Amino acid sequence: MEPLRVLELYSGIGGMHQALRESCIPAQVVAAVDVNNIANEVYNYNFPHTQLLAKTIEGITLEEFERLSFDMILMSPPCQPFTRIGLQGDVTDPRTNSFMYILDILPRLQKLPKYILLENVKGFEISSTRDLLIQTIESCGFQYQEFLLSPTSLGIPNSRLRYFLIAKLQSEPLPFQAPGQVLMEFPKNEYEHTQKRAIDAENTIEGKKIEPNVSFDSSKQCSEKEAILFKLETAGEIERKHQQDSDLSVQMLKDFLEDDADTSQYFLPPKPLLRYALLLDIVKPTCRRSMCFTKGYGRYIEGTGSVLQTAEDVQIENIYKSLTSLSQEEKIKKLLMLKLRYFTPKEIANLHGFPPEFGMWDTCGPQLSFIKCPKIH
């Protein structure tokens, strides 16, 4: 089989390139395109022999696309127009302009690619942008299938529900095709080797908004179903988390943690710990879940990702239920007993599936430097 010539758009740090490499499909990435300078530095470090175009997609002419003569397109367009916690501007959001340009270019290519793989956030599948994508690839003769998948589908304890589209330029339908249906997991007859889980879009609290003006007063009267037990969580929410932690098809977080690293700089300081204590999603190394990590993780607390309780023998319920009548100093002292810290950049890379040899930016030190991701056990 001749190696596929692959064009990687919105290449970022090279996640799709790495996935392509691990698929063992004979392929050569003939060009990668991104405008983010830091992402491009990481990409160059890991894929030094790939042509990287640090320019906007709209700055690439039809003739330049033709000269690349690619067989496959990998792309992950900007997700902000579709994310559930954004404005959901869809096609009216200027950040979709580059993708609209791709949809305009595609039918005009003299040689269409054989394959297209696209990734985006949940919400893209109900957008007008997605409808335009489908109209375009159908008019070009592509067969396609769409999926909603999370790392938990593959046994990784991180809730990051995402939309994927696979398209193939052939008359024969895809072997797992279900026309007009967004599949919530890979069909069993095609991917029996994966640990499969149906992903419920409502079974994630990523992006959940909670009023910030909260207190430790538990006297508020609620119905039994919605009663706040502690840490602003209802009995139903706690039960859902217990069910996630009991899912043996998903690995424990401890399998993704750094064993011997100095994590002292990642512990939550007392002031933000007190201010945001009720909003934290707290997990232990033995948990089989974590929230989606966002780019604000480490700088912002609410809704940006889980924090790790390293004092595993301390009962979190006892700590929170004892806070009501304490002074601020006493509350801080109690909360510090949990030894809460952020996940390290290496640990987050592990949870995103990057291999040990992949170099990442260490942005927590005094200077930017490349680090190696630890081995995932």
Q: Is residue 24 annotated as part of the catalytic site, yes or no?
A: no
pLDDT at 176: 72
Same fold, 4-183 and 228-372: no
Which residue positions in the chain have pLDDT lower than 50?
A: 187-228, 363-377
Question: What does the alpha-carbon distance between residue 116 and residue 225 come to, in Å, rounded to a whole number?
Answer: 46
Interval 226-240: pLDDT, tens: 444 567 777 888 888
CB 48 within 8 A of CB 32: no
pLDDT at 366: 32
pLDDT at 199: 30
To which H or E segment does residue 116 belong?
A: strand 115-121
Q: Please count the CA atoms within 13 angstroms of the CA of 174 that sit on its side-chain side.
A: 22
pLDDT at 20: 97
Question: What does the alpha-carbon distance between residue 130 and residue 190 come to, in Å, rounded to a whole number?
Answer: 25
The residue among 264, 258, 313, 263 whose CA lies nearest residue 284 is: 313
pLDDT at 212: 31
pLDDT at 174: 77
pTM above 0.85, yes or no: no
Q: Where exactly are the structural domains of the chain?
A: 4-183, 228-372
Q: Angle 15-23/37-46 helices, nearest 10 degrees?
A: 20
Domain 228-372 classification at class level: alpha beta
Question: What does the alpha-carbon distance between residue 42 and residue 36 come to, in Å, rounded to a whole number?
Answer: 10
pLDDT at 260: 83
Domain 4-183 classification at class level: alpha beta
Identified catalytic residue from 79, 287, 292, 373: 79
Supply 332's token pair: 């801080």
Interval 358-377: pLDDT, tens: 987 654 433 334 444 433 32
Phi and psi torsions of 373, nearest 5°: -75, 140
pLDDT at 92: 84
The residue among 231, 239, 236, 241 whose CA lies nearest residue 320 is: 231
